[in-house]
Chains A and B, each alone.
Chain A
Amino acid sequence: MNADGHKSAGLSFRLWWTHPGLRALAALLLVVVIGLVFNAEGAFFKWATHRDLLRQVAVFGILACGMTLVIISAGIDLAVGSILGLSAVFFALFSLRWGWSPFLAVPATLLAGALCGAASGGLIARLRLQPFIVTLAMMVFARGLAKWVSGGQKISTAVELADGTYRYGEAPPFIEFLNAKVLADNVAVVTLIFLACGFCCWLLLAKLRWGRYLYAIGGNEEAARLSGVPVGGMKLLAYALSGLFSAVAGICQMAQEIQGDPEAGAGYELSAIAIVVIGGTALMGGRGGIGLTLLGALTIGYLEKILSINAVGEAARLMLTGLIVVSAVIFQHRRK
């Protein structure tokens, strides 16, 4: 390693480079440049393309918000995709099938998601079980519950009547609203929900004592415990919030599909983890932040969109995604 060569690069550059936010930004710019080059006959220069990718990444971003809290506390939550599916089914059941008002359906769905998360968190905190295995169990359980509650079928506006025919309801206005675009059709509502979730996480992590506790637990759990941090309670909180955000994502997913699919969100936990890690939050815990996750979400979102508008084939798409994700991470973590 040529250490002398790096020295000549200058102090200011090294300071710049050690800031994780700037490194995440550099990774994002790298991907955007790919888009500028491969712009699919100008499709990349249309605002609609960017608006759509911001809509599409919202659900993953919301999951990643909760995941960030958990990962900062040195945990992992594999259940977010399944809780998303379960929440989508619950919300469809409440609002489409039973016709509940959104003022009842939304809190009930959020409560269900938060309870699932709290169940994981409770087991992890009280019985000191491995987060990986507990949330893996929750992942399987919640998926099963979603299939059971829905009878294995998507819950949509079409309702089967006793004589075998179907009645078609209209989607309630609230769901139409969630699926709509605002600000003169320039921003999807779900994008704004994602930003709101990010803002809540930022408040928690940067402004509240609870946030500092999460960093402390992730940095050194035993030291945190000895200095009086309520480790168990904080872990419970982190997983409950992760469940809550998964339910928010489930509601957004359901509103965009206008149906509750018990299979929704399968595999999404990996995308959420990828977003958090690409942003630069350490999987070992203790370091990172929600701003990084926002940048990570944009990086993944742009990557998928660029491959999609260029109609890249599935095999090449998977390989390129793997390569670009790994390059982005290497690019970020190169430090001396």
Chain B
Amino acid sequence: MNIKIITGGAVLLLGLGLGERALAQQRQATPQRYAQASWTIGMSQCNLGEPWRVQMNADIRKAAEEHPELSVVFKDAQNDTLKQRAHIEEFVGAGVDLLIVSPKEAAPLTAPVAAAFQKNIPVIVLDRKVLGEQYTCFIGADNRKIARAAGRWALKTLGGKGRVVELKGLMTSTPGQDRNVGFREGIQGSAMQVIFEADMKWLEPNARREMESALARFAEINLVYAHNDPGAHGAYLAAKAAGREKNMLFVGIDALPHEGQAYVRQGILAASFEYPTGGSEAIATALKILNGQKVAQHLTLPSRVFTRENIDQGGAWLPNE
């Protein structure tokens, strides 16, 4: 009996605490200006389980806060295509003034995006594409180009030759494929060879395990190229545990402020290549659209490389090709 009362009380307290916190967050998200906001933007995010997408939302929020006339409502589809479809339809039903969608996958989300577009709601598609032309603007970066730049950087830094370990993301995903193909294009025709490659599914513990295997097999490794920064960090930890972290360079992709950029600053990674979220560009484009200006239907985001030399200057822009 007592246990029931105690359990019940604890659940009640916890519930109250959660509710209080949620309300506080709500208040933060919708300050007084909400009433005065002249435009409401719906932001449909496909998965907040990835730090990069958390950063995307943060970038959008930060950019929107500078414009009191904007209010942004966020929804997270938790990596579920049908949930995201429902979110888009909810936004259309609520009559938002503009829709930002970062879709989980192209084909199933093309129809709901097109439906919104046909109801004269401007749609900005972020990072991943939908099929056809039924949207206002696509904003995204080019993984293959970024990976190619990483390959060229590795080539130049190592003097045209070297032994490389490649730790791949999920090779069934397009970012994984592009980051693989692009890098190979970058080192093509050189004396640089990839001696060990393995899928680490974007996860740091997996990267550490695969790197341990590479270290056990090869006495000489000059560079580790990982498809994301946590992967490069995991590889570094494996090499450090073997006392070999000084004999090789670690290169990653994404360059989030608190991940890749931080690792470069700490001297863990030799370079991290930015895969921009496009959050602030999305808000800038949204303002243009809402103010009646014309925008291009495709916007390819420029990307930066962060190295130990340039990190204090905010990185260097990759050249346009």
* Chain A positions near chain B (C-beta within 8 angstroms): 40-41, 43, 46, 48-49, 52, 56, 119, 122, 126, 147-148, 152-154, 156, 158, 160, 166, 168, 179, 181, 253, 256-258, 261, 263-264, 304-305, 308-309, 311, 313-314, 317
Chain A residues positioned under 8 Å from B262 (CB to CB)? 156, 158, 166, 168
Chain A residues positioned under 8 Å from B49 (CB to CB)? 147, 152, 263
Report yes or no: A257 in contact with B205, Cβ–Cβ below 8 A: yes
Chain B residues positioned under 8 Å from A313 (CB to CB)? 199
Chain A residues positioned under 8 Å from B197 (CB to CB)? 311
Provide a sorted-by-A list of 13 A–B residue pairs whose CB atoms are within 8 angstroms: A43-B213, A56-B209, A56-B212, A152-B54, A154-B259, A158-B262, A168-B265, A179-B237, A257-B237, A311-B197, A311-B198, A313-B199, A314-B201
Question: Does B4 reach chain A (CB closer than 8 Å)?
Answer: yes
- Say whether, besides A158-B262, A258-B237, A166 and B216 are in contact (CB < 8 Å): no
Cα A314 to Cα B199 with chains together (Å) = 6
Report yes or no: A160 in contact with B205, Cβ–Cβ below 8 A: no
Closest to A159 in B: B258
Cα A147 to Cα B3 with chains together (Å) = 29
Report yes or no: B213 in contact with A253, Cβ–Cβ below 8 A: no
Cα A314 to Cα B54 with chains together (Å) = 28
* Chain B positions near chain A (C-beta within 8 angstroms): 3-4, 7, 21, 48-49, 51, 54, 171, 196-199, 201, 204-205, 208-210, 212-213, 215-217, 234, 237, 241-242, 257-259, 261-262, 265-266
Shortest CB distance B307–A (Å): 17
Closest to B242 in A: A48
Report yes or no: A166 in contact with B258, Cβ–Cβ below 8 A: yes
Report yes or no: B237 in contact with A46, Cβ–Cβ below 8 A: no
Chain A residues positioned under 8 Å from B258 (CB to CB)? 153-154, 156, 158, 160, 166
- Say whether, besides A48-B242, A160-B258, A314-B199, A308 and B205 are in contact (CB < 8 Å): no
Cα A46 to Cα B212 with chains together (Å) = 12
Other contacts beyond A52-B216, A304-B209, A308-B209: 17, CB < 8 A: A41-B217, A56-B205, A56-B209, A126-B7, A147-B48, A154-B51, A154-B259, A156-B262, A158-B258, A166-B258, A168-B262, A179-B237, A179-B241, A257-B204, A263-B49, A308-B213, A311-B198
Cα A189 to Cα B61 with chains together (Å) = 43
Q: Which 9 A-B pairs have the closest CB atoms?
A: A314-B199, A158-B262, A308-B213, A43-B216, A52-B212, A309-B213, A43-B217, A152-B54, A49-B216
Report yes or no: B199 in contact with A308, Cβ–Cβ below 8 A: no
Cα A152 to Cα B265 with chains together (Å) = 23
Cα A264 to Cα B54 with chains together (Å) = 16
Closest to B203 in A: A263
Closest to A45 in B: B216
Best-buried of B21, B171, B204, B259 by chain A (most CB within 10 Å):
B204
- Say whether, besides A256-B237, A258-B237, A311-B213, A152 and B199 are in contact (CB < 8 Å): no
Chain B residues positioned under 8 Å from A122 (CB to CB)? 3, 7
Cα A104 to Cα B238 with chains together (Å) = 29
Report yes or no: B51 in contact with A153, Cβ–Cβ below 8 A: yes
Cα A181 to Cα B234 with chains together (Å) = 17
Report yes or no: B171 in contact with A314, Cβ–Cβ below 8 A: yes
Q: State which of A48, A166, A261 has its C-beta within 8 Å of the C-beta of B265.
A: A166
Best-buried of A148, A152, A168 by chain B (most CB within 10 Å):
A152
Chain B residues positioned under 8 Å from A309 (CB to CB)? 213, 216-217
Cα A40 to Cα B212 with chains together (Å) = 13
Shortest CB distance B222–A (Å): 18
Shortest CB distance B78–A (Å): 10
Cα A153 to Cα B204 with chains together (Å) = 14
Shortest CB distance B176–A (Å): 10
Q: State which of B7, B51, B208, B261 has its C-beta within 8 Å of the C-beta of A256.
A: B208
Closest to B62 in A: A164
Shortest CB distance B11–A (Å): 9
Chain A residues positioned under 8 Å from B21 (CB to CB)? 148
Report yes or no: B54 in contact with A48, Cβ–Cβ below 8 A: no
Report yes or no: B217 in contact with A40, Cβ–Cβ below 8 A: yes
Chain B residues positioned under 8 Å from A41 (CB to CB)? 217
Chain B residues positioned under 8 Å from A46 (CB to CB)? 216
Shortest CB distance A192–B (Å): 15
Chain B residues positioned under 8 Å from A156 (CB to CB)? 258, 262
- Say whether, besides A261-B204, A263-B49, A311-B197, A305 and B265 are in contact (CB < 8 Å): no
Closest to A309 in B: B213
Chain B residues positioned under 8 Å from A179 (CB to CB)? 237, 241
Cα A52 to Cα B212 with chains together (Å) = 7
Cα A313 to Cα B197 with chains together (Å) = 9
Report yes or no: B198 in contact with A308, Cβ–Cβ below 8 A: yes
Cα A138 to Cα B217 with chains together (Å) = 41
Report yes or no: A126 in contact with B3, Cβ–Cβ below 8 A: yes
Cα A313 to Cα B168 with chains together (Å) = 11
Shortest CB distance B254–A (Å): 13
Chain B residues positioned under 8 Å from A119 (CB to CB)? 7
Chain B residues positioned under 8 Å from A56 (CB to CB)? 205, 208-209, 212
Cα A52 to Cα B217 with chains together (Å) = 13
Report yes or no: A168 in contact with B216, Cβ–Cβ below 8 A: no
Chain B residues positioned under 8 Å from A40 (CB to CB)? 213, 216-217
Best-buried of B4, B213, B258, B262 by chain A (most CB within 10 Å):
B213
